[in-house]
Amino acid sequence: MGRKLSASGASKWLAELLSQKPDSNDRFSLGILIAGWDSELGAALFKLNGKGEFEESSMAGTGYGGGSCFGFDRNPSRFTSIDEAKDFAKNTLSFIANCVPESVGLVSVFNVGCRGVKQVVSDDSIADYLKERYRKSGREWKDERQLNSSMVRERKACRRAEEAAEARRKFPTAEEIRRVKEAEQVVLREWSTQKKH
């Protein structure tokens, strides 16, 4: 007792915690990142797979779990606080919202330590984060008729992220999940087509 919990121990806690959520496992894929300490590896960032097993890497990654939209950081040692890890995840997901908004909705952050697990961020909306980032950049949240094409895309991404967040909060049905996945494929196809031109 009283010892720091290793990253492998934290991953087992987290896997158990997520298995109790009705919308986890086969309903939606999750992008999971642990900023933690391990008895063998020291302070590091770990990407988790669906079984709660972690993979240590020199690059930290977070995303929506599908593999095609992830954000990376080449300096994992800079994450010294929960807020920094949370902001990294939110920043990545807010960018992902522009190309695959149906796959992004919420960010949850857990602090796992020797005294147990504490959820420090409970289902923060990416849409709210997009709006906040927009305001911090000095731009006004204008009427869509006054926006240029990139701003319109950002606004649409924000709306779709809000819809995705609301769908997840309602524990969607299999039919709703199927529609979200179909929409995701359409957006990915459009995005890849735009990249070629």
Alpha helices for the chain (secondary structure H)? 7-19, 82-96, 126-136, 149-169, 174-196
Domain that holds residue 15: 7-196
Domain presence at residue 1: no
Domain presence at residue 144: yes
Residue 194 CA, chain-centre distance (Å), reads: 24
Mean pLDDT in residue range 67-92: 56
Q: Which two tokens stand for residue 149?
A: 């094409």
Mean pLDDT in residue range 111-128: 63
User: Nearest-5° angle of CA 57, CA 104, CA 138?
Assistant: 95
pTM score, whole prediction:
0.40
Domain presence at residue 176: yes
Domain presence at residue 128: yes
Domain presence at residue 89: yes
Domain presence at residue 2: no
The domain tally of the chain equals 1
Going by pLDDT thresholds of 50, 70 and 90, the confidence category of residue 196 is low
Instruction: Using alpha carbons, select from 164, 197, 25 the residue that is nearest to residue 94.
Output: 164
Domain presence at residue 23: yes
Q: What is the pLDDT of residue 83?
A: 72
Domain presence at residue 150: yes
User: pLDDT digit string (tens) for 158-183?
Assistant: 666 666 666 655 555 566 666 666 66
Mean model confidence pLDDT for the chain: 59
- Cβ contact 22:32 at 8 Å: no
The sign of the dihedral angle between the CA atoms of 102, 83, 33, 173 is negative
Top-confidence residue, 27 or 173: 173
